[in-house]
């Protein structure tokens, strides 16, 4: 675990608030009580979670917006992600442990942590969140605590694609399709760090960022066909964009024999007789992998590029911007806690 941050609020203050209060201890949160457009997201005063056995309660510093948040909120993924209503969204969390449940080491209290929460559980769009202790990793000490939330699910998705599935090695060529997004930013960096030559597709607003992240070639998908721009075959394709059957086939066709097509979106179809591999990736929470990502951040080898920060109260606006394609990279949301004039650091 990393050193405890000195600026985090003390337990004493939280305990004092509790002592002065009769009745249930509450917190501010954003939730939706029915599926629908972004306007179903509303502020609510909810009971503050208590730590059940095996859990910690985190005082939330940051959470994020991910594209699937909007899909779940709209009710389009009820079969895949059966959330109970009302639902507090936000499965990325960073913050400070303020309570532990049975079976969890008490010395976690006061630690700054980061986690990728179970996607159907009550989320981190709140002042406090209950988190299974086994999912928690120490937060990076070298970046603002709120920003650390941006590392969780997107960093893990990139790790599981580039390191675990594609096993990218020095000298390989890797195409990241959709590099301008939250996952793509980490994937480009991890592939470049592994010694690969990275080709990225990105629009004009993301060109400079993905270049700084280590892309050797950037193909502007708004003007250029990636299949035409990539003239030499690649060892791995990471597809982060919903593609038509023709587009998917064109990406698979860029692979060398023995290559791998990893997709978080449209599954790859491998032509009969070909020896390329297609992987449909479903990210899983993994505290050990998250700890590896944190170590890279603190070693200065992985950047957490946060493109915008919003107060949690603006979550509905953030969902609307995300659905309109107007968010770039990772966006962090920060709750305001009692006694604070503004969001956390
Ligand atoms: N299966 C899983 O476990 C899993 C996990 C994480 C994410 N996902 C999914 O993976 C996808 C990417 O996630 P994300 O969080 O990175 O999304 P994101 O942050 O919304 O990024 C998507 C980015 O892709 C770029 N883009 C849009 N159309 C494109 C095109 N035709 N060609 C190339 N780039 C294009 C845009 O960036 P610019 O225009 O700025 O270049 C856009 O910002 C989403 O569909 C998400 O739901 C799945």
* The pLDDT of residue 5: 34
Distance CA 116, CA 185 (A): 18
Distance CA 35, CA 24 (A): 28
Q: What is the CATH number of the domain that holds 102?
A: 3.90.180.10
Atom nearest to 207 CA in ligand 1:
41
Whether residues 72 and 180 fall in one domain: no
Q: Is 146 among the domain residues?
A: no
Whether residues 112 and 186 fall in one domain: no
Instruction: Give all strands of the β-sheet with 277-280 in edge-to-edge order.
Output: 217-220, 197-202, 173-177, 234-239, 255-263, 277-280
* The pLDDT of residue 77: 87
Contact (CB, 8 A) for 196 and 235? yes
Q: How far apart are the first and last CA of the chain?
A: 20
Whether residues 135 and 16 fall in one domain: yes
Short-list 199, 172, 169, CA closest to 184: 199
Number of separate domains in the chain? 2
* The pLDDT of residue 10: 31
State which H helix or E strand residue 183 sits in: helix 182-193
Q: In a 3-state reduction of DSSP, which class is residue 146? A: helix
Kindly state if the Cβ of 66 falls inside 6 Å of ligand 1: yes
* The pLDDT of residue 83: 96
- Ligand 1 atom 26: residue of nearest CA: 178
Token pair recorded at residue 20: 């002065």
Pocket-testing residue among 149, 165, 178, ligand 1, by greatest number of atoms within 8 A of Cβ: 178
* The pLDDT of residue 22: 65
Kindly state if the Cβ of 283 falls inside 6 Å of ligand 1: yes
Q: Is 313 among the domain residues?
A: yes
Whether residues 103 and 166 fall in one domain: no
Whether residues 105 and 170 fall in one domain: no
- Ligand 1 atom 37: residue of nearest CA: 180
Pocket-testing residue among 183, 185, 282, ligand 1, by greatest number of atoms within 8 A of Cβ: 183
* The pLDDT of residue 338: 79
Q: Which segments of 188-326 are extended strands (E)?
A: 197-202, 217-220, 234-239, 255-263, 277-280, 306-311
Kindly state if the Cβ of 202 falls inside 6 Å of ligand 1: yes
* The pLDDT of residue 226: 94
Q: Is 260 among the domain residues?
A: yes
Whether residues 255 and 222 fall in one domain: yes
If you compute the radius of gyration of the chain from its CA atoms, what whole number of angstroms results?
Answer: 21
- Ligand 1 atom 46: residue of nearest CA: 67
Residue ranges making up the domain that contains 25: 11-140+304-334
CB atoms within 10 A of CB 125: 29
* The pLDDT of residue 271: 86
DSSP assignment of 114-142: EEE--TTS--SSBSEEEEEGGGEEEPPSS
Q: What is the CATH number of the domain that holds 162?
A: 3.40.50.720
Whether residues 133 and 17 fall in one domain: yes
| Percent helix / strand / coil, the chain, rounded to 5 | 30, 30, 40
Whether residues 121 and 175 fall in one domain: no
Whether residues 36 and 128 fall in one domain: yes
Q: Is 147 among the domain residues?
A: no
Q: How close is the Cα of 218 to the center of ligand 1, in Å?
A: 16
Q: Is 340 among the domain residues?
A: no
Average pLDDT, 10 consecutive residues per value, the chain (345 residues): 33 39 85 98 97 98 98 93 97 98 96 98 98 98 98 98 98 98 98 98 98 98 95 97 96 97 95 93 98 98 98 98 97 89 43
Whether residues 128 and 168 fall in one domain: no
Whether residues 158 and 120 fall in one domain: no
Whether residues 134 and 162 fall in one domain: no
Q: Domain boundary at 245, 264, 280, which?
A: 280
Q: How close is the Cα of 294 to the center of ligand 1, in Å?
A: 22
Kindly state if the Cβ of 218 falls inside 6 Å of ligand 1: no
Kindly state if the Cβ of 165 falls inside 6 Å of ligand 1: no
Strands 277-280 and 255-263, bridge-based pairing = parallel
Contact (CB, 8 A) for 86 and 44? yes
């Amino acid at each position: 675990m990393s050193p405890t941050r000195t600026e985090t609020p003390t337990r004493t203050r939280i305990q004092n608030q509790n002592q002065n209060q009769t009745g249930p201890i509450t917190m501010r949160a954003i939730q939706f009580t029915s599926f629908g457009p972004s306007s179903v997201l509303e502020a609510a005063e909810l009971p503050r979670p208590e730590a059940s056995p095996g859990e910690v309660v985190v005082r939330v510093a940051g959470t994020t917006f991910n594209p699937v948040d909007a899909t779940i909120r709209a009710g389009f993924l009820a079969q895949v992600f059966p959330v109970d209503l009302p639902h507090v969204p936000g499965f990325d969390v960073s913050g400070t442990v303020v309570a532990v449940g049975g079976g969890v080491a008490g010395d976690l209290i006061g630690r700054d942590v980061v986690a990728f929460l179970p996607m159907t559980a009550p989320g981190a769009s709140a002042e406090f969140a209950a988190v299974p202790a086994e999912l928690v990793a120490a937060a990076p000490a070298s970046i603002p605590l709120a920003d650390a939330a941006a590392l969780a699910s997107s960093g893990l998705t990139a790790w599981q694609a580039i390191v675990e599935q594609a096993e990218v090695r020095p000298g390989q060529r890797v195409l990241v399709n959709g590099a301008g997004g939250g996952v793509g930013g980490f994937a480009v960096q991890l592939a470049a760090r592994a010694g690969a030559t990275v080709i990225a597709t990105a629009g004009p607003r993301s060109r400079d960022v993905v270049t700084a992240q280590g892309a050797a070639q950037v193909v502007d998908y708004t003007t250029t066909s990636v299949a035409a721009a990539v003239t030499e075959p690649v060892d791995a394709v990471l597809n982060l964009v919903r593609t038509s059957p023709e587009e998917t086939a064109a990406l698979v066709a860029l692979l060398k024999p023995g290559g791998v097509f990893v997709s978080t979106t449209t599954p790859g179809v491998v032509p009969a007789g070909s020896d390329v591999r297609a992987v449909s990736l479903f990210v899983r929470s993994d505290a050990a992998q998250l700890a590896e990502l944190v170590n890279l951040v603190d070693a200065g080898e992985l950047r957490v590029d946060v493109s915008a920060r919003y107060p949690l109260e603006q979550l509905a606006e953030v969902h609307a911007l995300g659905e309109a394609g107007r968010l770039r990279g990772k966006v962090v949301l920060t709750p305001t806690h009692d006694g604070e004039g503004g969001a956390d650091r």
